[in-house]
Amino acid sequence: MMDDFHLFPVDASSSAQQVDWLFYALILMSLFFIAAVFLPIFYFSIRYRRGAKVDRSNPQIGSNLLETGWTVLPLLISLGVFTWGALVYFRLETPPANALQVQVVAKQWMWKLQHAEGKREINELHLPLGTTISLTMTSEDVIHSFFVPAFRVKQDVLPGKYTTEWFRPTRLGEYHLFCAEYCGTNHSAMIGRVVVMRPADYEEWLNSGETGRSIVFEGHRLFQERGCSGCHVDSRAIHAPPLEGVYGKQVPLASGEIVTADDQYLRDSILVPGKQISAGYENLMPSYTGHISEAEIMQIIAYLKSLGEQRPER
Ligand code: CUA
């Protein structure tokens, strides 16, 4: 299936057709306007060729209706295309809640992926059919881009920042995974495959071979090993913000700002603790830059998230 020739890639996700309809509509509109411009050009260049016996008096014709028409119609068409494109874009940019989470770390020149249950993969992504998947992605070095043509999704993967990408596979099979941002010598080799399996097969795959521990488990282990728990749990000796239930909350900062404790905020707090100090606390925490990997930070964040799920708002 992967190596058949297709003019367009197969559509294998719930978003694919929406992107395709927009794309086809743009092609049709372009063809229409190409015809509207070039057919008269051909017609007039033959009819008014040198030596042809035709009326060349060129009378002035004024028509407000015509002038208004060819101004207003293209305006409406452009606004229509813009609205349509924006609707599709916002849908692609907003991951639905309760999606299956997969962590993605890009580096020159490979994709490292980890499923919530703990299973790790390199340059391969196994997925269950019909399930909404949400990727949380970051890079260890330069800008990459996670591109699955069959799903019609492409998102830059940036160092120092989390980006997300979501899709719902609707067709069994194997599909190309590309890096779509030039990232150095072996950019073209930074490829892989996405394997969409029946949910039962996916469960079996998930529990086969080296399964590892769940991301939340690993995050908890790191939270203790790296000394986070020394200050952030039962913090009587050292005054540090408690982290239970912090995920997703509004956090007042010493600067007077209020920020949402999302993945990016937690990541920054681990790597650049002095950047956004919680109101009422001192800038005491050492930076973990260089002492912790991107995958480990994602695990700790997943653990902090799970704390919130166990004990919702008090
Ligand atoms: Cu990574 Cu191109």
As beta bridge partners, residue 177 has 192
Which range is least confidently modeled, 34-38, 126-130, 175-179, 280-284? 280-284
Atom of ligand 1 nearest to the CA of 183: 2
pTM of this prediction? 0.78
Cα–Cα distance, 111 to 295 (Å, whole number): 12
184 and 265 together in one domain: no
Give the Å distance between the CA of 179 and the centre of ligand 1.
Answer: 4
Q: Ligand 1: residues within 6 Å at CB? A: 106, 109, 144, 179, 181-183, 187, 190
Pairing of strands 192-197, 124-128: parallel
Cα–Cα distance, 68 to 225 (Å, whole number): 71
Tell me, yes or no, whether 158 lies in a domain. Answer: yes
- Residue owning the nearest CA to atom 1 of ligand 1: 144
What is the reported pLDDT for 281? 77
What is the reported pLDDT for 46? 94
Give the Å distance between the CA of 182 and the centre of ligand 1.
Answer: 5
pLDDT reading at 2 higher than 70: no
Q: Which of 196, 212, 228 is the last residue of a domain?
A: 212
Nearest to 302 by CA among 110, 103, 165, 152: 103
Under DSSP, is residue 202 helix (H, G, I), strand (E, B) or coil?
Answer: helix
Give the Å distance between the CA of 94 and the centre of ligand 1.
Answer: 24
Q: What is the mean pLDDT of residues 35-50?
A: 95
What residues contact residue 276 under an 8 Å CB cut-off, 6+ apart?
251, 253, 255, 257, 259, 265, 268, 269
Tell me, yes or no, whether 205 lies in a domain. Answer: yes
Tell me, yes or no, whether 20 lies in a domain. Answer: yes
Atom of ligand 1 nearest to the CA of 106: 1
pLDDT reading at 110 higher than 60: yes
144-202 pLDDT, tens digit per residue, is: 999 999 999 999 999 988 999 999 999 999 999 999 999 999 999 999 999 999 999 99
95 and 187 together in one domain: yes
Give the Å distance between the CA of 190 and the centre of ligand 1.
Answer: 6
Q: Which of 212, 241, 265 is the last residue of a domain?
A: 212
Percent residues over pLDDT 70 in the chain:
95
Q: Omega into 166 within 30° of 0, i.e. cis?
A: no
Atom of ligand 1 nearest to the CA of 143: 1
Mean pLDDT of the chain: 86
Q: Which residues constitute the domain of residue 149? A: 1-36+72-212
Q: What is the mean pLDDT of residues 82-105?
A: 91
When comparing pLDDT for 101 and 8, which is higher?
A: 101
17 and 166 together in one domain: yes
Give the Å distance between the CA of 191 and the centre of ligand 1.
Answer: 8
192 and 285 together in one domain: no
Which range is least confidently modeled, 45-54, 202-211, 228-237? 228-237
When comparing pLDDT for 68 and 97, which is higher?
A: 68
Give the Å distance between the CA of 180 and the centre of ligand 1.
Answer: 6
Beta strands in 10-132 (DSSP E): 100-107, 110-115, 120-122, 124-128
Atom of ligand 1 nearest to the CA of 181: 2
Q: What is the mean pLDDT of residues 211-215?
A: 79
9 and 145 together in one domain: yes
Q: To 5 degrees, how large is the angle CA 270–CA 272–CA 277?
A: 90
Which range is least confidently modeled, 8-22, 104-118, 131-145, 271-285? 271-285
Q: Which of 175, 193, 212 is the last residue of a domain?
A: 212
CATH of the domain at 260: 1.10.760.10
Give the Å distance between the CA of 209 and the centre of ligand 1.
Answer: 29
Nearest to 249 by CA among 299, 310, 312: 312
232 and 260 together in one domain: yes
Supply 110's token pair: 């490979």
Atom of ligand 1 nearest to the CA of 180: 2
What is the reported pLDDT for 313? 38
139 and 279 together in one domain: no
CA 265 to chain centre: 18
When comparing pLDDT for 229 and 195, which is higher?
A: 195
pLDDT reading at 314 higher than 50: no
